[in-house]
Structure 1
Amino acid sequence: MNPLVFDGVGTIWAHDTEGNLKYLDEKINKVTFQAQFDWEKVMGGDSGYAFHYTAKDLADKVSIEVPRYSPALAELSQGAVTVEGPVSFDESEEGILSPTDGYTVKKPSQYKGIFTKGSEEVYLKDLATGKLTKLNKVASTPTAEQYSITDDGKITSDESNDKKNVIVIYKWDKTTGTKSGLSGTRRPKPFKLVHRFELLDDKSGHPVPCQLTIWRALGGGTLDISQERKKPTVNTMSVEIMEPGITADNPNGYAAELIFGI
């Protein structure tokens, strides 16, 4: 086989131990597989050379760098629990109290959600000092220190507060969403990892199909959900290689396998 040039990253996917597809991503920054085999020297006598070498435990290293987040990646790398269904968001908005329309919260309609009745805190903001003055809720006819609100989040106050800045802290609900739950006792579960990529034959220049398979992997590493202006988040999953055992699709019991279509 001619020497091959590693150029490009390809696609990765993972199945759980029951054979269910858990993760697939074609936008990968980097996949690293470093097979490492070390010896323990056995020394004796006067020679400066070892007269025997005892094999150390294998120290193969695998890592994956992904420039985006997914709940499946959180499951594989951190043992997160993914829950799909109704979700609730905390929100904040700043606006102007209109003399005719007051102020209506905007984020629920923007995200096709529903304002959570009774969840709000309403403050007037002094533009000169930034001081916040909390208003008290009443059913109707509010004074300058009060406000009233409808079920859909429309806020009104006394006319003396017209054209003043108002800040609203509240919750809103959405009937469909996804949660990644990270418990203090979480543990990732083993999975089968496939990295399907393409190399170049350095002599002919022709593409060569290639595949890396980790038959039984265990995730770890850093799941980064931080936010930094003008900088995309990168997640790095460290993959531990486990003894896979002998199965029908892995009759030799390989821990890792590299396939080249040449």
Structure 2
Amino acid sequence: MANERLRDAILRNGLTPVAVAERIGVDPKTVERWITQDRTPYPRHQHAIAAIVRQDVPYLWPKAVTPEKASRIGQSEMIQLYSRRSSVPYDLWHQLIERAEQRIDVLAYAGLFLVEQDPRLIDTLHQKAIDGVAVTVLLGDPTSAAIERKSVEEGAPGVMSAKIRQVQQYYGRLDGIPGVKVRYHDTTLYNSIYRFDDEMLVNMHVLGFPAPHAPVMHLRKLNGGDLFRTYSDSFDRVLAASKSQPGDKVAT
């Protein structure tokens, strides 16, 4: 059985088995066997190829990383744990946004603090999109029951919807900009997720506490780890169920 994921990843990057073989220092026939016979390379070659084709090792070779190993690697993906979001240095947010070259993802209910702490954020995101960075912002649907339930749980009925409508005025300036998506969800969030290429800030949600008083994990993706991937998958699931406008019944 052929490894179609590996074949596709090589072709998508404009490469050939011969080119891959030259870059990692093996015989081209060896690369062909990895593709056509689904042979599993040595770990050092797995990581080298994954870096070349910009994919995860577990995606290219699902059986290569055991759950136990993925868990161990995942522990090393955590750079820092902050006891509350208000303890995360502003400079860190700024650096992660400025360094992003491929993607900036925001999943929150409102995330109003981002535009409040950086008045130039929208201009920065606009420029990032012009430079080729994919910007995706997922906000809570202010018309949904899930949003009002969140407000009630925090002891402030109606406040979350108001925050979302306020932040809409900022992100509205990005309407029509190629490379920018601003969409809405009615998901019950267990975490707010802020991804900047291969780094991520995950703001945990704690019942009865507003987000600024809940912990934040700073993660950096490692090949074969499962912690970063878990939250990336969560973001993708919310994106898949998101809506173009508040009040829409189905994703469009």
TM-score, shorter chain, exceeding 0.5: no
Query: Larger % of strand: which?
Result: 1
User: TM (normalized to structure 2)?
Assistant: 0.20
User: TM (normalized to structure 1)?
Assistant: 0.20
Query: Larger % of helix: which?
Result: 2
